[in-house]
């Protein structure tokens, strides 16, 4: 945890009293005492600093001493064929730590139908995994998650409405002829929408639908990766393309 995340509603006159895992982290890992300064962030708000005012038992009182600034929102968003729950947990944390603003979790032919019944989609535990990623990466901006149980309404109704927000739209597909750097124009300065399929990939119908919506297919090469590895690899590669100047 490289950042203590605070909820706006728990802050009262710049002060907050923590008694949960954050207090435990401050006391047992950071071993902070009154007067110490900590990096704190307000959810969907600025990253700044707080001072430890009081420590008693397992509670910690912080006072925000430097409001700080709001992080820039990540410029890459993800369409992801719903993976199995254990993989989704890891993906949510890792994607939040690498930086995304939205995740569209969608159905696809090769998604197991049972995944949509996963308990983590019914309660708030997706947020816990996103929060781990934000605490790790020192970010406050929660990615927005939406769930789309039917592929066709997503691609025919939702996708056309959001497409114009994304000048660069990509879909990972092992059989594509282009590699990633050939599928985007460098330097990359725009918002990117990236679609990543299930284990086994997208079926032809799905690829056709994505291409109708202007998503450029690209291949990651001959090595077949697990979905969680592919998500991290591709978010990192898109980030690198943003770092590369005019080529």
Q: Which residues make up the interface to a second copy (CB under 8 A)?
A: 2, 94, 97-99, 136-139, 179-181, 221-226, 229, 232-237, 239-241, 243-245, 247
Q: Which residue, 202, 114, 99, 84, is CA-closest to 154?
A: 202
Cα–Cα distance for residue pair 78/171, rounded to 1 Å = 10
Closer to a second copy by Cβ: residue 42 or 159: 42
Q: Rg for the chain (alpha carbons), in Å? A: 20
HSE of 91, CA atoms in CB hemisphere, 13 A: 27
Pairing of strands 15-18, 59-69: antiparallel
Least spacing, CB of residue 90 vs a second copy, in Å: 9
Least spacing, CB of residue 89 vs a second copy, in Å: 13
Least spacing, CB of residue 61 vs a second copy, in Å: 26
Cα–Cα distance for residue pair 99/12, rounded to 1 Å = 29
Least spacing, CB of residue 220 vs a second copy, in Å: 8
Least spacing, CB of residue 16 vs a second copy, in Å: 23
Closer to a second copy by Cβ: residue 121 or 225: 225
- In the block, tokens 């947020």 appear at 127
For the chain, give the number of residues: 247
Closer to a second copy by Cβ: residue 48 or 99: 99
Closer to a second copy by Cβ: residue 38 or 155: 38
Can you tell me whether residue 170 is helix, strand or coil? Answer: strand
Closer to a second copy by Cβ: residue 45 or 99: 99
Q: Quick one: tokens of 82?
A: 């719903």
């Amino acid at each position: 945890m490289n950042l203590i995340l605070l909820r706006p509603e728990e802050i009262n006159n710049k002060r907050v009293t923590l008694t949960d895992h954050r207090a435990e982290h401050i006391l047992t890992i950071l071993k902070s005492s009154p007067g110490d300064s900590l990096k704190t962030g307000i959810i969907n708000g600025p990253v700044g600093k707080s001072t430890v005012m009081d420590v008693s038992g397992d509670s910690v009182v912080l006072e925000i001493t430097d409001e700080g600034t709001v992080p820039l929102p990540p410029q890459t968003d993800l369409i992801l064929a719903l993976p199995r729950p254990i993989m989704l947990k890891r993906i949510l944390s890792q994607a939040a730590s690498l930086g995304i603003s939205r995740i569209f979790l969608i159905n696809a032919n090769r998604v197991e139908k049972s995944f949509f019944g996963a308990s983590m989609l019914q309660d708030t535990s997706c947020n816990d995994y996103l929060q781990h990623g934000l605490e790790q990466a020192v970010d406050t901006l929660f990615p927005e998650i939406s769930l789309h149980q039917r592929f066709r309404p997503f691609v025919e109704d939702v996708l056309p409405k959001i497409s114009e927000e994304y000048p660069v739209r990509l879909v990972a597909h092992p059989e594509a002829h282009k590699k990633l750097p050939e599928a985007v124009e460098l330097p990359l300065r725009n918002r990117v929408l990236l679609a990543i399929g299930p284990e086994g990939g997208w079926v032809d119908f799905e690829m056709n639908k994505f291409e109708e919506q202007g998503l450029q297919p690209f291949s990651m090469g001959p090595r077949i990766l697990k979905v969680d590895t592919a998500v991290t690899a591709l978010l990192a590669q898109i980030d690198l393309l943003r770092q590369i100047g005019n080529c």
